[in-house]
Structures are given as structure tokens and as C-alpha cells.
Amino acid sequence: ETGVTQTPRHLVMGMTNKKSLKCEQHLGHNAMYWYKQSAKKPLELMFVYNFKEQTENNSVPSRFSPECPNSSHLFLHLHTLQPEDSALYLCASSQAVEGPYNEQFFGPGTRLTVL
């Protein structure tokens, strides 16, 4: 257990569905992240939140919509996804966004399949 939980662990959805991924951290951290992990590719940073404020949006398509109501919770709302969006979506948290030795703690991920 890393102190970061994600639900659901697995999700299958059609291209016209709307779904949400949830992440919660119990570590008292101030920064939260969404990553996309595809097979044999580097982790792709999608969004960064620092004290509930979005600080990074790495050119992510608008069909992915993040929400951070407080420093402990992070959501990723999904709509009209494409099959190429199938991947493992990882949530992470860290004490801060900036500063050295900023270890990130990861959740187990949501395995998303888009049909």
C-alpha cells in the first residue's frame, strides 16, 4: 500500500460513454498527478495539481477532463474516448510540485479499455 488509492481498477467503456476515474491520497500531500502508461512507452504526464490548482496540462485532448476538489482527491472525467486511449491510468501524489527529492507515490492504476 502506497497511501494512494484508485477506483475502479478496471474499466471497459464504449466510445460514446461517460465515466470517471477517482484517486485519493492519504499522505497529506499537496500535489497530485495523472499519468498515462501505454505498453513499452514512457509514462506520459497528463495533468498536475498543486494545492488544488492545475499547474500543468500537457496538451491533453479535451475528452479528458480533470477535477481536483481538494488536495486529497483527484478525478479524471472521460467522454467520447478513442480506442487508442486504452491504457493504464496512474495517479500519483507528492509533498510538493517543486523541489528536489520530490518522490512521487503512485496508486495501482485503472486499466482502461475503450471499445
Q: What's the min distance (Å) between Cβ of 78 and another protein? A: 20
Q: What's the min distance (Å) between Cβ of 4 and another protein? A: 7
Q: What's the min distance (Å) between Cβ of 67 and another protein? A: 21
Considering beta carbons, is residue 38 or 82 the nearer one to another protein? 38
Considering beta carbons, is residue 54 or 102 the nearer one to another protein? 102
Q: Which grid cell is 42?
A: 514512457
> Using the rule CB under 8 A, which residue among 54, 70, 102, 113 binds another protein?
102
Dist CA 92 CA 115 (whole Å): 26
Residues 21-80 touching another protein, rule: CB under 8 A, are 40-43, 45, 56
> Using the rule CB under 8 A, which residue among 23, 29, 109, 110 binds another protein?
109
Quick check: helix, strand or coil at residue 84? helix
Instruction: Determine contact, residues 76/66, Cβ cutoff 8 Å.
Output: yes
Q: What's the min distance (Å) between Cβ of 15 and another protein? A: 25
Q: Of all helices (H) and strands (E), which one includes residue 24?
A: strand 18-25
The C-alpha cell 502506497 sits at: 2
Dist CA 48 CA 57 (whole Å): 7
